[in-house]
């Protein structure tokens, strides 16, 4: 039975249904994450304990176990165990190096981001410091101007008072001169 087309409210506008229903692609970085998981797992006490128990069980079985069921001869130095451990080490080393390289790349990116952030913080701090200095200078200028204005006003008042006194003295002299002349 054919499905009816979706109405405008049931499907997003401008999107094809095939785009929305497609399965997500596997991450291209899956192997890198796997190598990091291996490196983290091999660096744990649990891994060392499991490996030790595995070797002890191997040696114990091939030493004490029934001779017909032994698969690695103690007389030959446990050749199969040596081969298994060598194989594990030969795969572990490159995987650990890959994980370290990925970590180095992440660290490099993080260091670059930290450096850029520090530069921005320094620029912001320098800007704020310049602004604070400018505000201090403006406040100092305003205080100096206020003091200068007050001093200037006081001086002008003093001068006006002296001028008024002189004018008053001249008026008195003129009156005295005018009354003496009459």
List helix spans (H) across 65-78.
Answer: none
Per-residue model confidence (pLDDT) at position 77: 86
CA–CA distance, 67 with 65 (Å, rounded to integer): 6
Straight-line distance from the first to the last Cα atom of the chain, in angstroms, rounded to the nearest whole number: 137
With CA atoms as reference, report the closest residue to 70 among 62, 78, 81. Answer: 62
Per-residue model confidence (pLDDT) at position 175: 81
Per-residue model confidence (pLDDT) at position 107: 94
> pLDDT in tens for each of the 182 residues of the chain?
455 555 555 555 555 555 555 665 566 688 888 888 888 888 889 999 999 999 999 999 999 988 888 889 888 889 999 999 999 999 999 988 888 988 999 999 999 999 999 999 999 999 999 999 999 998 888 877 776 777 778 888 998 899 899 988 888 888 887 766 65
Residues 6 or more apart from 71 whose CB is under 8 A from it?
Answer: 62, 80
CA–CA distance, 80 with 73 (Å, rounded to integer): 8
Per-residue model confidence (pLDDT) at position 28: 65
């Amino acid at each position: 039975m054919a499905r009816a087309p979706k109405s405008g409210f049931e499907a997003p506008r401008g999107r094809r249904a095939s785009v929305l229903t497609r399965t997500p692609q596997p991450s291209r970085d899956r192997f890198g994450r796997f190598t990091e998981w291996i490196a983290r797992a091999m660096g744990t006490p649990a891994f060392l304990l499991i490996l030790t128990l595995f070797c002890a069980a191997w040696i114990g079985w091939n030493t004490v176990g029934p001779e017909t069921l032994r698969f690695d001869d103690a007389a030959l130095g446990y050749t199969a165990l040596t081969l298994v451990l060598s194989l594990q080490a030969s795969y572990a080393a490159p995987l650990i190096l890959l994980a370290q390289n990925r970590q180095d790349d992440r660290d490099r990116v993080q260091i670059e981001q930290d450096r850029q952030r520090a530069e921005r913080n320094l620029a912001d701090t320098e800007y704020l410091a310049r602004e604070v200095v400018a505000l201090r200078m403006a406040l100092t200028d305003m205080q100096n101007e206020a003091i200068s204005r007050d001093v200037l006003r006081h001086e002008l008042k003093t001068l006006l008072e002296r001028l008024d006194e002189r004018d008053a003295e001249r008026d008195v002299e003129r009156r005295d001169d005018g009354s003496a002349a009459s």
